[in-house]
Structure 1
């Protein structure tokens, strides 16, 4: 069985990858710093960051397949990252309140054995329901919006804020499983392999 390495400390990504291949992977968080690159389109920037994360983790392994991802929320051409304090989360949620936006992930799969590197992006349209200021404050007080792209968790309490999703739901959580499965297939790895069950 090929060794799979997830270049992320995200519990959401770990859980999603577990859905796909069970517990048959290592977790090796990247120490890659995400430099701002205003000249790049958001999709290109997220792919660039996912490549940076994968290559950073690759330094520590001689074989295996490294999976890395970088997810952001895009609204009106603005990239909304992860708020690290409640006021920022509240500000983001007020921007997205009652509106449609996109969740975009840059995904890189790096096969150290064949020296193949495949990078793609996935985009999902999301419609957030309308909330009043008090509802936003109550949600922010749960602590869930902190350190989540766009200040919400589609797989958590934030699910009740999401009116509709068009595209890959798992991408809205942080790891586009359909696209990841297709990339792994290109590298000769099937998620239906008995060793992953």
Structure 2
């Protein structure tokens, strides 16, 4: 972890089982819990207020997490923040998916087991009930979800939880190969999928 900064004497707290990509930037009052994955070029700026990522949550490449200090910015357990999303001064509930390039603004509360669609704009102060599918700009509640609807989301989050462990175990900086080996391996389902699903 190279880009970890204190500000005004406040140092980020990162659980030893969390994985933070070396190109991610973590500043100030940021608390990252067990099994969290923080992807390449993500920015978590706890320079105005507290950011909390709870156990098993993930933020992917180029996400921005920030706030204005009036309330903590929280990603609850198993929260899943897709590539390029912006999370600003809000609460993302347990087992919520925020789709790619979505924006969730200040004082929003997203209820557990909800999905925010890709590119959605969730305006300031919106309160989203549990099990909601939300999409559009400005975002609107489209329908109520079921546990069956959430199966794909749960699998995706479990893959990222495994990716945190895989990254600790095997991610390394290397020089590229100049030629394609004839016996070049591919990643397998056994390497990528959650371990408890491999026998199903």
TM-score between the two structures when normalised by the length of structure 1:
0.25
TM-score between the two structures when normalised by the length of structure 2:
0.24
Higher helix proportion: 1
Structure number with the bigger relative contact order (C-alpha 8 A, sep ≥ 6) is 1
